[in-house]
A and B are shown apart, each in its own frame.
Chain A
Amino acid sequence: MTRRMLPFAVVLAAMALVPVFTPSHFYVNLTSQVAIAAIGALGLNVLVGHAGLNSLGFAVFPGLSAYLVAWLSTLGGFDPVSAGLLAIGGTMLVAGLFGVVALRATGLGFVMITMALCQIVWGAAYRWTSVTGGDNGISAVPRPGTGLLPLERPEVFLWLCVGTLALALIQLGRFFDSPMGVALRGTRDQPRRMSAVGYDVWRIRFSAWMLAAAWGAVTGLLYAWYHQFVSPHMMAVTASAEVLLMVVAGGAGTLAGPLIGAALVVLLKNLASIWIERWVMLLGCTFVAIVLLMPDGIVPGFGLLRAALARLRPAPAPKLVPRERADV
């Protein structure tokens, strides 16, 4: 457990230390975005990687909680922290209702229902102009912060994001090895056997759904505080697809995968777009390459690569190995 967490600690420490290496707010903020996206991807990974439930509507959780905190702390007149807590509570309530609906289905039906539920909320955000501001969204969302914790400063906000990401990694890392986590993967692989040995498959799936929703809600909160602005676009189908891409590209079911996938997508989006106008094409090509070379995602892909290298180690020309591998 502790040894497995060491690489994560190193990566998170490096992220937290970005402000030390560069005074540029651009890179500090970029790192915050990676951390926020990673928390969301970790949440979705509970469903996709461990429950075997592919959701194409995950953006509804961050979307709801971002809208709730934005509305409550501007028009609603709540202070940012209370608004944040209420937003998470409200998101969980709605998630509970949506879970009852969505978990009637599995497989393709689940994909469509989750997408439809997200579309409902997106539609409300888009059309219910008097409350949500419609396409303009809600702006001037205040960040919480006190003298001790001045969250308006980018580096302090980054530390909040990295700290939250650390909590997510610890909680989910423990969850995946717990009786509950093993049982969740049991319901993915053999739901029939699971109920035959006494498990309530539906309740296990519902718990996983709520856990994913909780980290989704946290993501939305950080998102709203980071941008200090929310708009319906964060609940568009493309937004849900983007989180799914992070999970799948990084490696569904692994702990590091969603983190790597989130970094890949956010960095490509923000860095490549500086140099290449059609950066979306680059994103597309990257994913095609991942799917062709590492169909299970980057983390399992490198695992296989390492195993292949270990087998080939006695070979006389190890420098040729990566090229041979690429031909396969």
Chain B
Amino acid sequence: MSELALEIKGLSKQFGGLPAVSDVTLAIRPGERHLLLGPNGAGKTTLFNLICGDLPPTAGSIRLFGQELVGLPPRKRTACGLARTYQILTLFPHETLCRNVMLALNGLRPQKWRFWRDFDDDTDMRAEAFAILERVKLADLADRTVSQTAYGDRRRLEIALALALAPRVLLLDEPLAGLSRDERVMVQELLDTLPQDITIVLIEHDMDVALAFAERITLLHHGSVVITGSRAEIAADPRTREVYLGA
């Protein structure tokens, strides 16, 4: 059996007396498209925060291609090939879209410590940033500041910042939240064009898109895994209905 892209074992997070994530175990293969499902408060975003290191877990282990992530700060996990987007837009509002992407590109490079050379003079990196903006169809807005762009554009910039890191595992937290129908189609097409060797874990409430995209699905409820399986297995399982409609 080949190495797993993301292997989570017995992962728990307590907020005081509240178990936000309890004893979650997940095994995600390289190249897999994995969907996390669950009602509000199921612990999906907390799970992302644990994986990328924004929160320390109470117990458990997280391995990325065999490398233990627990105990590493977020930036070291990024260096291991992990990237994420945020449900709540987390962009650099005063900078141009191009500079947003350049900041992300520079994060893992030693030239981020340069303090004399003009950032915009780095034409190679500007070209790289343009290529990434091209992928998310934002190249024509490259020199606008984030505050001058529409919400839908910002959602795609979220994804661009993660793609700039050339991740091996990409965590997408509701990439379609708040988008119009046309914009959804655009992001869906973008997700479909992502190279197959990027492993993707997705949180999304738009079932049409999410179910079409994901091969395997994990249903979370009250911080625990209810069931993991293929699309058909999840749909057929009575517990899915129970979680969503109440029993």
Binding site for B on A (CB under 8 A): 1, 174-175, 177-183, 185-186, 189-190, 192-200
Contact = CB atoms under 8 A, between A and B. Distances in A.
A192 B90 contact: yes
B73 A195 contact: yes
Contacts of B116: 174-175, 178
B169 to A, nearest CB: 13
A1 B112 contact: no
B75 interface: yes
A177 B118 contact: yes
B52 interface: yes
A178 B78 CA distance: 23
A193 B119 contact: no
A174 B92 contact: no
Contact of B119 (A179, A189, A195, A197): A179
Contacts of B84: 196
A181 B149 CA distance: 23
A97 B106 CA distance: 29
Given A177-B118, A177-B120, A193-B161, A198 B108 contact: yes
A189 B107 contact: no
B181 interface: no
10 contacts: A175-B116, A178-B118, A179-B114, A179-B117, A180-B112, A181-B115, A190-B91, A195-B74, A196-B54, A197-B104
A193 B86 CA distance: 9
B69 to A, nearest CB: 13
Contact of B115 (A174, A194, A195): A174
B94 A185 contact: yes
Nearest to A185: B94
Contacts of A199: 75, 107, 112
A197 B92 contact: no
Contacts of A196: 52, 54, 74-75, 78, 83-84, 90
B78 A177 contact: no
B206 to A, nearest CB: 24
Interface in B132-178: 161, 164-165
Contacts of B54: 192, 196
Nearest to A200: B75
A190 B165 contact: no
B103 interface: yes
A81 B83 CA distance: 51
A203 to B, nearest CB: 9
Interface in B84-140: 84, 86, 90-95, 99, 102-104, 106-108, 111-120, 122
A211 B120 CA distance: 22
A1 B94 CA distance: 19
B191 interface: no
B194 interface: no
A178 B113 CA distance: 9
Given A179-B113, A196-B83, A197-B78, 9 more contacts: A174-B115, A175-B116, A179-B117, A182-B103, A186-B103, A192-B90, A195-B74, A196-B84, A198-B108
B104 A175 contact: no
Contact of A198 (B78, B118, B119): B78
A89 B129 CA distance: 40
A198 B105 CA distance: 9
A63 B165 CA distance: 44
A133 to B, nearest CB: 38
A87 B181 CA distance: 64
Contact of A180 (B74, B78, B114): B114
A182 B102 CA distance: 10
Contacts of B83: 196-197
A182 B101 CA distance: 12
A178 B114 contact: yes
Contacts of B165: 197-198
A126 to B, nearest CB: 36
B92 A198 contact: no
Contacts of A183: 103, 106, 112
A179 B78 contact: no
B92 A186 contact: yes
Given A179-B106, A179-B111, A182-B95, A197 B161 contact: yes
Contacts of B91: 190, 193
Contacts of A190: 90-92
A174 B112 contact: no
A198 B114 contact: no
Contacts of B118: 1, 174, 177-178
B235 interface: no
A200 B113 CA distance: 11
Contact of A177 (B75, B92, B119, B161): B119
A182 B114 CA distance: 10
A180 B107 contact: no
Contacts of A186: 92, 95, 103
